[in-house]
A and B are shown apart, each in its own frame.
Chain A
Amino acid sequence: MCGIAGLIHRGKSSNVGEELQKMLQALKHRGPDSTGYALYANNDGQNFIMRFKVGENVGEGSTSVNEDENVYNERKKLVNKRLSELGATVVKEEKLTPYSYRYEIKYDKDLMEFSKAIESIESVEILSIGKSLELIKDLGDATTVSERYGLNKVQGTHGIGHARMATESGVDIKSAHPFWGYPFADVSVVHNGQLTNYWNNRRVLENKGMRFMSECDSELIAVFLAEKMRDGATLEEGMKQSLTGLDGVFTYFVATKDSLGMAKDTMAAKPLVLYESDDLVAMGSEEIAIRSILPQEIDTYDPFDGEVKVWQI
């Protein structure tokens, strides 16, 4: 059992960081192990934002191996060296925790080759690349992660988030959601459920050059959609194909720079409550997530089995 939440403001920006934090905190009982945010912030859109980690959070119930901070620093130096070799210019560099960084970079070449080069460094994982996407995930509940990364002031148009109860893989950042839709800028996915044809799909997708960073079944959704879009499908087309291409039970959200979508498996085995108005769409695993930002009486509903919906900002 995990909790997922998402919202999209249509035609305006809002404090999406704080709103998503409230929604995810309301779902804490569904998943206390880790929390993740994919926030689409009001950045200037000139440069890529790359969030990456050079190690794991080894506290708070982590299953990861403890490493010295000097090891992290050495890996970070290697990242800088690799960026220089790739022709990328680091405009701004922020150290967020001993193991994670946010870089603003100038780069105009292929993102897949770029990502492969960076992630060839041991234990380095790119959490996200995008011009508006800010993907943050770490161990702890929504409030803990929000305070650790200063998310309560992030202004933006939309976002998705996840409160994880680890079932299929370890308690660590690499298995936490959201997953970046590698190698597409600004694509992220969160998922509630279990996928039963993970390994079959993974083998096929890896043979087609796609990359997996974890053994978390949910990562498959991001890779599945990315591969469809790489082959020319629109986001909505890819999501519809996922209803038959993915086996198991799932409700998932996917977000891009200017859109937010949801898909529910054909058995409707995982919950989702949805509120939709002209200027705001909010959804979550339980109504209490929506109520945390909309306490007034509103009309909500459950999308039906096999339903796919996409909204634009």
Chain B
Amino acid sequence: MANLKTTAKKTKAQSMGLHTEVLTGKTQQKFFNPDEAENFFYWGTHNVDFNKRTELDVMDMDCRQANNKIDELMSEGYGTIVIKNPQGKHSLGVGILNKLNLIFEGSLGYFGVGSIDGPIVTVNGRVGWSCAENMMAGKVVIEKNAGSCFGAAIRGGDLICKGSVGARTGIDQKGGSIIVGGDAGAFTGFMMQRGRIVILGDVGINLGDSMYDGTIYVGGKIGSFGSDAVESPMTKNDIEWLTRKLKVAEIGSNVDLSKMTKVVAGKKLWNYDALEPTERKGAI
């Protein structure tokens, strides 16, 4: 059981009644160690061989049937699966927690490849709302456009759309990278908490509204800044990171990165000044 004790010295936040206790000692929280990656095994995952390839036509399947079939193919060791005729169906390719090369020849509906942790996904068409929502790791590449809430609440991985995306891209983002080759709609980066968003084109109104942390880079025009979103100077590190990421994304080779606009949280909304460094971490 965690050891709770009252702090001797009160911070401003504590004196305002926001915090009366601090958490010390060991907790039950377990952290992922990259050195032990091979021993880190999810229930329901499969060891697959990228060289073992198959095709799956989901034209006459509903999303549950299609997802069960993908799981069945992974259990047989198939590491490269090509999905034919997705036809805008919702929730395809969700919950895949192992390495996999998943290719959709067509478009996805809502919640495509949501809650994934590890697969490399290519969608040759368009995706609907909330693509890759809650993604933990992996890489997702959308060749055409994407709907709203693209990459909502992702924790990690690279999410790339070569076309344009709708509103609220990266809403509640907690990590990872979202890279968009075209334009983005209103409220991009709304309440984002960590990670980076790159928009090579224009963005709509209220960019970065109420963002806690994280960074947004914009190549084109900005409709307006959201509450507490502020411009910050581009640094050498920013340009190095952008160069590397855009190369991985295979877009934006002709963009002058030094002219991009960098947007970060002004940190005025969340009473940041009143918090100790450790408390700031806990607030995110």
Contacts and interface: CB of A to CB of B under 8 A. Distances in A.
Interface of A: 266-269, 271, 273, 286-288, 290-291, 295, 297, 299-302, 304-306
B167 A304 contact: yes
B155 interface: no
B185 A305 contact: yes
B186 A299 contact: no
A271 B204 contact: no
Contacts, number: 79
A271 B148 contact: yes
B101 to A, nearest CB: 21
B77 interface: no
Contact of A304 (B85, B129, B146, B186): B186
Of listed A290, A305, A306, residue having the most chain B CB within 10 A:
A305
Contact of B205 (A295, A300, A305): A305
Interface stretch (B6-14, B104-112, B243-251, B255-263): B104-112
Contacts of A290: 88
A273 B186 CA distance: 16
Given A302-B146, A305-B205, 4 more contacts: A286-B110, A297-B107, A302-B185, A306-B186
A2 to B, nearest CB: 15
A307 to B, nearest CB: 9
Contacts of B168: 268
B87 A295 contact: yes
B138 interface: no
B126 interface: yes
Contact of A291 (B88, B110, B163, B185): B88
Interface class of chain B by DSSP: loop
Contacts of B187: 267-268
A268 B165 CA distance: 12
Nearest to A287: B88
Smallest CB-CB A-B distances: 8 pairs: A287-B88, A268-B167, A305-B186, A302-B166, A301-B145, A291-B88, A288-B88, A304-B185
Given A273-B128, A304-B186, A305-B185, A297 B148 contact: no
Nearest to A307: B185
A300 B145 contact: yes
A295 B57 CA distance: 14
B111 to A, nearest CB: 11
A287 B185 CA distance: 19
B145 A302 contact: yes
B144 interface: yes
A291 B58 CA distance: 14
A271 B111 CA distance: 13
13 contacts: A267-B187, A268-B167, A286-B88, A286-B90, A287-B128, A288-B88, A291-B88, A295-B87, A304-B166, A305-B185, A305-B186, A305-B204, A306-B205
Interface residues of B, number: 32
A286 B124 CA distance: 18
Contacts of B172: none
Contacts of A300: 107, 126, 144-145
A286 B185 CA distance: 18
B148 A268 contact: yes
Nearest to A286: B109
B117 interface: no
B147 A273 contact: yes
A304 B148 CA distance: 9
Nearest to B183: A304
Contacts of A302: 145-148, 165-166, 185
Contacts of A299: 126, 144-145
A271 B88 contact: no
Contacts of B107: 287, 291, 297, 300
Contacts of B147: 271, 273, 302
A311 B149 CA distance: 27
Contacts of A286: 88, 90, 109-110, 128
B150 to A, nearest CB: 10
Of listed A267, A273, A287, A306, residue having the most chain B CB within 10 A:
A287
Contacts of B109: 286-288
Contact of B106 (A268, A269, A297): A297
Contacts of B146: 302
Contacts of B105: 297
B89 interface: yes
Interface in B227-250: none
B129 A271 contact: yes
A287 B126 contact: yes
